[in-house]
A and B are shown apart, each in its own frame.
Chain A
Amino acid sequence: MGNQWKSGKITRKDLRSRAVKAIVKTALASVLYVVLVVLLAPVSDLVAGFAETMQTFFIVYVVLMIVGEFAARTIFQPILNGARAVFILFYMVLALGDSVITVTSENATLTLNMSLVFTVVVALCLIGVASAALEAVSFLSERAERESHMQL
């Protein structure tokens, strides 16, 4: 890692390890997605467009995750992590709206109050954004420190 920072180049070995990490993370996310699709099948039957919404969310999330993994140890990694947290936040705000989901089927109405879930999601997203900002600050300070050492 230190050699790479000094040279500013990404070695083939490093690229390979990042690819392996990205593949492992994508596989884990895919397993989680498949489990979610199975568990949420009753909801998908009731809510039109729910499956498509989940699919879009999953694709964007995984793409940001893969790009973020390849941008590891650069300033782009915290930026992409922050973007991912902001994307989840906005997606949840748009999807949940007033935190109450109402599904009507024939003569029955199902009302879900997602307020608490929404609050936890927003809190986690904000922590994610804060963490990304701290990561960026840490990265920049480490680089400045390294450059000052090199000048000496």
Chain B
Amino acid sequence: MNMPIRVIDIVTSIIWVLLIAVVALSAYSIKDLGFELYKPTATVTQNSTIVLSVPVRVINMGYSDMKPVTVTTTLLDAEGSEITKTSTLLDVLPRLQNVSLVENLTLSAALLAEKGEQYFAGYNFTISVSVGSTFGGFLPAELSTNFVYQFNASFSSLSLRPPAVGVSASTSEKATAAVSFDNYASAEVSENMRAGTDTNREPGVIPRG
């Protein structure tokens, strides 16, 4: 066999061995990547935006540093469409250590209103968290999970009881109706209630039931 062909064979054999070694060691290291999620909390800011804070703890139980590590948190609606997303880049995650961080997802109240039913029946969002890193310098891997986060209704079980009409000697009548609802939302409700009459009906007639 010619010497150049022999050299090509030797060089490719060395590259094969190196490639297999790097891939095997990288695959072995992937098992050491993990993360823990804690219960998200929602806070309402003064400019009517809601901030969902998702605490995440990224764990590196391997014997080598991970760099860089990207933590991405995405809020998805019930149909799986992305609403908002946030990402944190860790330059290095030292070996046998963990890092705790809080991923803040900001969404506007107007966007929540678009979801329609959330005031009365709540709304189920999906929060997806993924942690990614590049192993062995050229094997990108990503570990992800998702869970359902219920944005509870502000006016759950809203009911209007039959009005009681009081007739007075004067020309006016006073109707009293009891309204009840449960606020399961993470934010307090501070709104004015306004009652009105239906002007198309005959005056003095209040429907039964």
Contacts and interface: CB of A to CB of B under 8 A. Distances in A.
Interface in A2-31: none
B24 interface: yes
A150 interface: no
Given A43-B27, A121-B19, A138-B2, A113 B139 contact: yes
A117 B5 contact: no
B12 A110 contact: no
| Majority secondary structure, A binding face | helix
Interface residues of B, number: 28
A40 interface: yes
Contact of A120 (B5, B17, B19, B147): B19
Contacts of B27: 39-40, 42-43
Contact of B144 (A108, A113, A117, A131): A108
Contact of B139 (A42, A108, A114): A114
Given A40-B27, A42-B27, A131-B12, A32 B5 contact: no
A110 B30 contact: yes
B63 interface: no
B24 A36 contact: yes
Interface string B1-21: 110010011001001110110
A128 B143 CA distance: 35
Contacts, number: 73
Interface in A92-135: 107-114, 116-117, 120-121, 124, 127-128, 131, 134-135
B145 A109 contact: yes
Contacts of A128: 12
Interface string B122-157: 000000000000000011111111110000000000
B28 interface: yes
A131 B1 CA distance: 11
Contact of A113 (B23, B140, B147): B140
Nearest to A88: B16
B31 interface: yes
A134 B25 CA distance: 34
B5 A110 contact: no
A67 interface: no
Contacts of A59: none
B20 A116 contact: no
B20 A111 contact: no
Contacts of A63: none
Nearest to B128: A109
A35 interface: yes
Nearest to A46: B31
A134 B12 CA distance: 15
A135 B139 CA distance: 33
Given A124-B16, A135-B5, A109 B144 contact: yes
Interface in B1-59: 1-2, 5, 8-9, 12, 15-17, 19-20, 23-25, 27-28, 30-31
A111 B139 contact: no
A36 B21 CA distance: 8
A124 B139 contact: no
Contacts of B139: 112-114, 116-117
Interface of A: 32, 35-36, 39-40, 42-43, 107-114, 116-117, 120-121, 124, 127-128, 131, 134-135, 138-139
The 4 tightest CB contacts between A and B, nearest first, are A42-B31, A39-B24, A113-B140, A116-B138
